[in-house]
């Protein structure tokens, strides 16, 4: 299969040097990319800024902002069989980006924040009957209910539920949830081992 994988964080700039982001290391997405390549799939890895080397054998598309990620996904998804959306996308951005570098004035600075584009929902709208989407949900409160809500709203085929403890860690615990709420796969351990299990499951779940 030809698989699109997103990984790492996005950044949203307050001015030309400062940005808001999150603590995603990209380890899970990169491990999945490596496992999918090893399983014989063609992989396009769209990655936010991380300190990781891309797995050999994949095509790397570096991005920075959520808009960059959306543009890259919309460009490459139509030629792929499916997408694994593991990137940790910023949900908000400043309504207006300041030019240059903001200087200290001694006063309180207030930024008006607006929601970023929902990249996963955009891919769900674009998805054909021949394509599949495996989303990721990082949830703390009512995790399964929120993950299922996200699956249905974004038109995912399955969703990977994991917890905030996964951020920056080399280990993880995931549950792959189907649209009917059943558990398709549950595995814990090193992210590299989880990625191998996920790649093996993919071969059966999305066999054409």
Q: Quick one: which H or E segment has residue 175? A: strand 171-178
pLDDT tier at 163, thresholds 50, 70, 90: confident
Q: Quick one: which H or E segment has residue 13? A: strand 12-13
Backbone φ, ψ for residue 45 (5° rounding) = -105, 110
Q: Angle 191-205/27-38 helices, nearest 10 degrees?
A: 50
- Answer yes or no: is pLDDT of 166 > 90: no
Predicted TM-score (pTM) of this structure? 0.93
Q: What is the pLDDT of residue 87?
A: 95
List residues bridging with 185 in a β-sheet.
176
pLDDT, average across residues 159-187? 90
Q: Quick one: which H or E segment has residue 173? A: strand 171-178
The domain ranges of the chain are 2-95+110-205
22 is catalytic: yes
Q: What is the pLDDT of residue 208?
A: 61
pLDDT digits over 118-153, tens only?
999 999 999 999 999 999 998 888 889 999 999 999
Distance CA 31, CA 87 (A): 12
Distance CA 75, CA 124 (A): 14
Decide if 122 contacts 73 (C-beta within 8 A). yes
Backbone φ, ψ for residue 193 (5° rounding) = -70, -40
pLDDT digits over 76-124, tens only?
999 999 999 999 999 999 999 989 998 888 889 888 999 999 999 999 9
Q: Considering 22, 146, 162, 172, which one is annotated as catalytic?
A: 22
CATH number of 2-95+110-205: 3.40.50.10300
List residues bridging with 174 in a β-sheet.
187
Phi-psi region of 112 (alpha: psi -120 to 50; beta: other; left: phi over 0): beta
pLDDT digits over 12-60, tens only?
999 999 999 998 999 999 999 999 999 999 999 999 999 999 999 999 9
């Amino acid at each position: 299969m030809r698989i699109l994988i997103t990984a790492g964080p996005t950044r949203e700039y307050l001015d030309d040097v400062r940005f808001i982001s999150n603590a995603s290391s990209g380890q899970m997405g990169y491990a999945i990319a490596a496992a999918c390549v090893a399983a014989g799939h063609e992989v396009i890895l769209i990655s936010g800024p991380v300190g990781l080397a891309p797995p050999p054998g994949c095509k790397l598309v570096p991005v920075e902002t959520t808009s960059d990620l959306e543009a890259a996904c919309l460009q490459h998804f139509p030629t792929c069989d499916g997408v694994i959306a593991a990137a940790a996308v910023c949900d908000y951005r400043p309504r207006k980006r300041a030019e240059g570098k903001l200087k200290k004035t001694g006063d309180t600075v207030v930024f008006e924040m607006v929601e970023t584009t929902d990249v996963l929902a955009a891919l769900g709208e674009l998805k054909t009957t021949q394509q599949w989407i495996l989303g990721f949900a990082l949830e703390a409160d009512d995790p399964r209910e929120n993950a299922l809500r996200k699956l249905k709203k974004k038109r995912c085929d399955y969703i990977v539920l994991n917890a905030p403890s996964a951020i920056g860690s080399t280990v993880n615990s995931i549950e792959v949830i189907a649209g009917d709420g059943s558990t398709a796969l549950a595995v814990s351990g090193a992210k590299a081992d989880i990625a191998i299990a996920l790649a093996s499951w993919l071969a059966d779940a999305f066999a054409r």
